[in-house]
Structures are given as structure tokens and as C-alpha cells.
Amino acid sequence: MRAVFVLALLVCAALADFDFTWADGNLSDAAYTFEYRWGHCEKKTSPTVTGGYFHLPEKLFIWRSTSCDFDKADKDEKEDSNALVGAAYLFGSTFYPLAIVAYGTGKKAVDLKDKEFIEELCKGSMYEPFQNGALAIAAVSVGEYYPNGTFVDGTMLDFKYDCTPEEYKQGKGYMKAMSCSLIYNGKTTVTISYVASKIAGILKYGMTPVSPLSLDMIIEVQNFELTDKANHIGLTLGLIGPSGLGGKSENKNAWVITKKKEQVYAALSDFAMIRNTRTQIKYTIGSGSNPLTQNNNGLLKVAMGDNADYQAVTVEFPDGESSFIYDPALGANSIVYEAGASTVALSLLVLLACALLFLF
């Protein structure tokens, strides 16, 4: 019966304009343990907190994943369990699009309620079990660059824009996404989507791998009008982590900190989807001025402390290309995103077998 249920999930129809159905794919080549996890994700309205440190954007994408069944586990089982909690928001107000994921252990982490998590953030603190175990990715800007790397023109993805988030649901509630778009210069469309899934697989949209241990930020740019085909699009991301805490390092395609024996990672990819083709791109991680502090991104200070470490990521796409889909992600434990969008498409049967492991 469970096998039939999973198969039904895998073949459900596409939603809205985004193809969140499964692609043929294989995650078994990544260092990943396919274990049961309880997942929860929903779009929330940010509450007004008396005496709050700052106001979060109106709409939040809240995600939790625990290594035990939240509804059925007893106290002892919860004490031995781990949990991931995430928050994401989109364009508008005084915020850049940003996603944050934190890792914690024990009953307090597993029992955390969405309302408690959000209220703690508004008050200026990270919920105690998750302190010092958080990483964030921000989408900062997109623009045109000359071959020598000199900036031509572009836009910061900040408070100049606003959009109304749309929520997409698929199947029996095993996957959720929140998305919105902006129009730049009357032609270029920039879309940010956040995706969370209760089972592992690869989406047709961007060939994006998703799992119960990760929160994806999918960035799509369409019709960026270059002034010269010899130029290229550059995407700037911000990686933010707690300064001086854990074993922070660049590990293949991931930027990692260590909390106790576990790793929390922000994963990048050497590939993007361009014209429906898996295409090699390049990125660099380096120091840079932090534009996030110029706006009211108090969430970063809450999560990372006063000495948050900011690293600027420059993602460069091939010369002359005007559109792409790129999928950085945040997660913990095993790094399924070493390949990112480069995940090799193989057999749907392998994907189905991986999905089945979540239910037995």
C-alpha cells in the first residue's frame, strides 16, 4: 500500500507555471542517508510582537524537519533526535530574498512550534537549541558584466521591489513552495522560489534535487538583455555564518560550519540549467562589503550574533546567455548538494527506490 502511495506522489501533475513534478534522476551517488524524517512547511504571516527587536516581512516560509515522528515520539526518543528549522522570505519591505537554516538537538528543538520560532526572532534571539548552528543565503544582485569582470548594469534585489508570494502545493502535501517574481527594466524577470520536500527527488524545474534535509532557494532569470553578446550575467549571493564558530570551510560545492558532530551547509553548484540544458558555470567565494546590514536584516544578527561572517559569492554564467535557473540550498548532516543542479539524470526506478526508503 505504501509503495502505491509513493508512486502516486511521484506521478502527480505539474502546478501553476513551475514544473514541480519529478524528473528522472538519481540521488544515490551523493553521500546521503535515506532515513525517515518528519517534515512540516507552511507560509506564515509574521506576528506583531510587543517589544520586538525588529519586524519580519509580512510573509514567511517556515520549514522544520526532525529525525523522529513529531506527533508520535515519546520524550526519550525526542531527546535523542535532531531537528532542522528554516525561515525564508522574498522581495519587499526592507529585505533581500533570504533563507536561513539552523540545526539543533534534543526535545526542545524537536518540539519547537512555528509561532515560538518566529516570536523569538522578532525579539532578537535565536531559539536556544539552534544557537550557533545557523547559515543563511541571500540573493543580493543580478547584472551584466564585461569579459574582464567590470560591472555594466543591473539591479540589487532589495526594497526597490515588492511582490505577493504565491504558494504551490503538490501531491498529498509532501512538497511545498513559495515563489514570487519582479520585472527589471520592463523585460527581465527575476523569480525566487523556496522549496521543501518530505521525500528525496529531482524536480523538472531547474533539475533541482530536494530532500527532507534541505531548504532550496531556486533563482530564475529570464530575458536579461545584454548590451553585448560578449558580456555575461553575474549573480551575487551572500553567505552568512557565525564568525569564529565551528569548522567553517569551503568543501567542494558547499560552505560548511560544524555544530558538534554535525555539519550545517550552504551548497552551491558548478552547473545551472540554461535553455533546458545542464551547463557548466563558475563561481568564486571571497570577502566583500556586506549590503545586508544596510537594510533592516536584523534576522542575521539574531541568528549569527554581532560578528556574523559575510562572504560574497559571484556566480558567472556563459557569455551571451540571457536566461538561467540556479539552485543554491541550505541543509545539514549529509551534503546531497555536492552536485547541485549537476545531479546526473538516470533512472526513475532508482528515484522511486530512494523515495520508498523514507516510508519503511
Phi, psi of 123 (to 5 degrees): -80, -10
Q: What is the pLDDT of residue 230?
A: 97
Q: How many domains does one find in the chain?
A: 1
The residues with which 234 forms a beta bridge, in sequence order, are: 143, 316
> How far is C-alpha 27 from the chain's CA centre?
18
282-286 and 214-222 as β-strands: parallel, antiparallel, unpaired? unpaired
Considering the entire predicted model, what is its pTM? 0.84
- Looking up residue 195, the CATH number of its domain turns out to be 2.70.98
Q: What is the pLDDT of residue 151?
A: 93
Instruction: Convert the pLDDT of each residue in 165-197 to its tens digit.
Output: 887 766 556 788 899 999 998 999 999 999 998
Instruction: Convert the pLDDT of each residue in 41-61 to its tens digit.
Output: 888 887 777 766 667 777 889
Dist. CA 192–CA 177, nearest whole Å = 10
348-357 and 2-10 helices cross at what angle (nearest 10)?
130
Instruction: Convert the pLDDT of each residue in 259-284 to its tens digit.
Output: 555 667 888 888 899 999 999 998 88
Q: Is the dihedral of CA 288, 294, 299, 303 positive or negative?
A: positive
Q: For the chain, what is the radius of gyration of the CA atoms?
A: 19
Residue 287: burial class (beta carbons within 10 Å; 0-12, 13-18, 19+): exposed
Domain extent at residue 35: 2-357
**Conformational region of residue 44, where left means phi above 0, alpha means psi within -120 to 50, and beta covers everything else:** beta
Dist. CA 57–CA 173, nearest whole Å = 25
